Chains A and B, each alone.
Chain A
Amino acid sequence: MAVDAETVRRVARLARIAEPEARLDPLAREISGILGWIEQLNEVDVDGVEPMATAVHATQPLREDVVTDGGDPARVLGNAPRSDDGFFVVPKVVE
């Protein structure tokens, strides 16, 4: 399926990546090329086939719902682009 510039704009918006206007057409061509190559999957008969999301057959392990780590805000904030007084500082979220 061919992807157009408008679709790239919409998907880039969903992915929160600013793509300049001039990149939309080249990206549409690249992605269309890749998706065109992927279309060959339609040749495979997948009727009644169970989707395989993981190679691990085991069931998901459970553990007690208890606190195992934490209480160290300095380490948590150590890589923050901005922090103040034990908090992350982020752009204004609510007007």
Chain B
Amino acid sequence: MSELTALTLTDAVEGLRTKRFSAEEITRAHLEAMQGARTLNAFTVETPDRALEMARASDARIARGEGGPLEGAPLGVKDLFSTEGVETTAGSRILQGFKPPYESTVTANLWRDGAVMLGKLNMDEFAMGSSNETSAWGPVANPWRSRGSNASLTPGGSSGGSASAVAADLCLGATASDTGGSIRQPAAFTGTVGIKPTYGRCSRWGMVAFASSLDQAGPITRSVADAALMLRSMSGHDPKDSTSLAVETPDFTQFVGRDVRGLRVGVPREYRVDGMPAEIEQLWEQGVAWLRDAGCEIVEVSLPHTRYALPAYYIVAPAEASSNLARYDGMRFGYRAGGGTLTEVYENTRAQGFGDEVKRRILIGTYVLSAGFYDAYYLRALKVRRRIADDFDRAWETCDALLTPSTPTAAFALGDKDADPVTMYLNDVFTVPANLAGLPGISVPAGLDANGLPLGLQLVGRALDEGTLFSLAGALEQAAAFRSKPERWWS
């Protein structure tokens, strides 16, 4: 059965449509793979009954010739997306047992197009983390290990479960979300493709909120074409999200494989950060060479405020989080602790329900929004955010997309960056600017480091120009010919 789990989403959908195998067969193959891979801790909830029910319904639609674009394809869902009647915790104890009475728009779009839900995927608590270690349900293991080592590595975060499950062939693709790099960094760490589309491309309705002006959904998949296929289904205007853009969703799949000759690719000099490993630098140069060989024009560009993106993000994101997470008060849903007075119940509920990183960020967010500090911190950060967005606008005068490394390192060991929060934050140095500016970014697996661990390259594009990114990502994918798979030590 393993050949069915190793298919790309694109090939699986084609095989289902032409009835080479049934939705029930490919779903059973994945449920079996999930059972054998529990040691990865990628899934927080498995939904085999619902999966088989959805698969049989898909088979019936295919038999009638009514299949949708993802008909019968088994997918995983990051536990940040509300799924009707299926526990949704966002990796937090405060939501343990919460069963939403509604379905998120993004997942509803996937089911509308025929996809099958395998279960919910582990993540950093409220998407706050870069290693999946802040999950209340324990860290996820990366299917990849350093050559000759048994040490557990992080799959990245916050969409660690999504990346791990896709890399280990436990699902054909997975939903993920990206507030500061939470799709692209785990994709880079696991040899998978991850795209964060333009802010507003996907509806945030039914997604557990972290930082509303930055949060955006996207897929993690095993190929660029798969990412285009899945994002096409996830996208679309939604009146239930006032920040959802009222624009048509292009057929992203048509952009993959398109000629990239004449496209201008910018290389931002400020992304050459201190202490960047030589391997990352070399991979970046290799990526530039690949795109030049494919006929792109390479231009050096400057994004002078790059180094201020992370500190600005660590004001804006906690500020929005402190406001968003005020809803967890133990009254209408979620965990409620004991206490003598109402205030004590609130304080104990939140003290016991939230983990350390979430509490730290709520405190920072509360502090920077508090009287006397609002102008010095929050307002200044919003002005720096504008400077960062302006940098990109100027870059678009001379180039059509930017090429950068996805991350400053390969996957690191679990527990490696626990001691100092800022060290962990620095992992998102290349991904955060696109969130602040609302721009699309995609990570493509491009090679292995000396230890045999995957490394990714990132492309950032103009707002609503995912098409160009898919064309360039397709060219990178073809040139890199990344075929490596992790050894199956987990089953």
Contacts and interface: CB of A to CB of B under 8 A. Distances in A.
Interface of A: 3, 7-8, 11-12, 14-19, 27, 30-31, 33-35, 37-38, 40-44, 46, 49-56, 58, 60-61, 63, 75-76, 78-82, 88, 90-93
B389 A55 contact: yes
Given A37-B311, A38-B311, 13 more contacts: A16-B326, A19-B351, A34-B364, A34-B422, A41-B312, A41-B384, A44-B380, A46-B384, A78-B99, A79-B100, A81-B334, A91-B339, A93-B342
B99 A11 contact: no
A35 B370 CA distance: 14
Contact of B343 (A3, A16, A35): A16
Contact of B381 (A15, A18, A41, A93): A41
B342 A92 contact: yes
Interface string B314-327: 11000000100010
Sort A-B residue pairs by CB-CB distance and give the 5 closest, nearest first. A55-B438, A51-B382, A79-B333, A81-B336, A46-B383
Interface stretch (B139-147, B239-247, B287-295): B239-247
A38 B377 contact: yes
Contacts of B332: 79-80, 88
A60 to B, nearest CB: 6
Contact of A63 (B239, B305, B336, B382): B239
Given A49-B386, A52-B383, A53-B213, A34 B421 contact: yes
A17 B421 contact: no
Contacts of A54: 213, 243, 438
Interface stretch (B32-40, B157-165, B354-362, B467-475): B354-362
A38 B314 contact: yes
22 contacts: A16-B326, A17-B354, A18-B351, A27-B363, A30-B421, A34-B314, A35-B364, A37-B422, A38-B377, A41-B384, A43-B308, A44-B384, A49-B387, A52-B386, A52-B389, A53-B213, A54-B213, A56-B438, A60-B242, A79-B98, A81-B331, A88-B331
Contacts of A81: 330-331, 333-336
Interface string B329-349: 111111110010111111110
**Interface size classification for chain B:** 35 or more
A44 B305 contact: yes
B108 interface: no
B472 to A, nearest CB: 22
B275 to A, nearest CB: 16
